Amino acid sequence: MSYPVTHVALTAEEASLLRRWHASGDDATVLARVRDLAISSAERLSIDQAWEPIRRCMVGYHPLGAGQSVFGRRDYVITLLDAGEAATTAAALAEVSQAWLRERFEQRMTPPRNPGPVQPGRTADFGAVWACFARLAGFFARASRARRCVLFFTASRYWRPPRLETGPDGRTRVVRPAYRPEDYTVDPNSLRSLPADGGSWPFEAELAERDGVLYSWTEVGRFIRGGRTWVRMTISDAEYYIDVENAEDRIGRIECVDPLVAYWLARRTDKHPVVLAD
């Protein structure tokens, strides 16, 4: 599982402002500014599915996503390359040929198939990866020519669960991290043991019996879709959800609940007033 990655070219002044905020412990301001840059800067590049293949192909040749950290928490990775480091990266990327990258891609990107019913997102084909790589190389080349620093921004896999605390009024409250889709996205590993072929027992037995494949999941509701009953379920120590179809008394399709809807479901479990922490 990898998350979208954004690179932003910054002036030295913008970069030192981020460093100063970070040094003074003001990570919330760093994150707010970086989020804003990630959607509004004219000199930015976002890479989604192709990032992980690119990163893995470059391991052992030139590290990507490196640099000085300007963020003290574990839920996001925010690092800065100074202008010299950005130029070094630009030079390294400029040397990469399509044939070289293809060879590494074929060596390193043959994914194992999940035994469960829900497969990870389709692996990017090499053409798409090369196109993204070319954009990345072009981005670094422009940053290098303009002597810019380069910001690297992505969500990490670290999940911050909500916690209970006593508020200033003496009452209990829930402190919940601000919504981050990654915190409510199904971990594919949790689906590995689920059957792709309908299972071996009647649907309700799969849910309720100790040996049922869905026994470790907890039902939170039922609804109708396509004229069939679906059961919405979650698992302990996480705030993501799956929908499981009852297909003629067997497990049918299993779908991941949208992270935003999962946030809503998680919020419904809060028993006390909620404050958001960024």
Residues forming contacts to other proteins in the complex (CB under 8 A) are 35, 39-40, 176, 178-179, 223-227, 258, 260-261, 263-264, 267-268, 274, 276
Which of 180, 207, 161, 191 is CA-nearest to residue 256?
191
- Nearest distance from C-beta of residue 261 to other proteins, angstroms: 5
The residue (of 60 and 226) whose beta carbon lies closer to other proteins is 226
The angle, 0 to 180 degrees and rounded to 10, between the axes of the packed helices 51-58 and 126-145 is 70
| Nearer to other proteins among residue 20 and residue 222 (C-beta) | 222
Please state the closest distance from residue 253 (CB atom) to other proteins, in A.
13
Shortest distance (Å) from residue 106 CB to other proteins: 33
Q: Three-state DSSP class for 9? A: strand
Question: Which CB atom, from 122 or from 268, has the smaller least distance to other proteins?
Answer: 268
- How far is Cα 81 from Cα 186, in angstroms, rounded to an integer? 32
- Nearest approach, Cβ of residue 154 and other proteins (Å): 14
Could you give phi then psi for residue 133, rounded to 5 degrees?
A: -60, -40
- Strand order through the sheet with 76-81: 44-47, 5-10, 149-155, 76-81, 68-69
What's the closest the beta carbon of residue 112 comes to other proteins, in angstroms?
Answer: 31
- Among residues 226, 245, 231, 236, which one has the least CA distance to residue 269? 236
- The tokens of 165 are what? 């605390």
Residue 251, C-beta contacts closer than 8 angstroms, at least 6 positions apart: 194, 195, 198, 199, 203, 206, 213, 214, 244, 245
Q: Which is nearer to other proteins, 35 or 73 (CB)?
A: 35
Give me the least distance between CB of 130 and other proteins, in Å please: 26
- How far apart CA 244 and CA 222 sit, in angstroms, is 9
Closest CB to other proteins among residues 39, 94: 39
Instruction: Considering the complex, state which of residue 157 and residue 225 has its C-beta at the smaller distance from other proteins.
Output: 225
Contacts of 172 (CB under 8 A, 6+ apart): 164, 165, 166, 272
Q: How far is the CB of 18 from other proteins (least distance, A)?
A: 20
Query: Could you tell me if 184 and 260 are in contact, meaning their C-beta atoms sit under 8 angstroms apart?
Result: yes
CB atoms within 10 A of CB 50: 22
CA–CA gap between residue 142 and residue 122 (Å, rounded): 31
Nearer to other proteins, 94 or 261 (CB): 261
In the bound state with other proteins, the residue whose beta carbon lies nearer, of 165 and 258, is: 258
Closest contact distance (angstroms) between CB of 174 and other proteins is 11
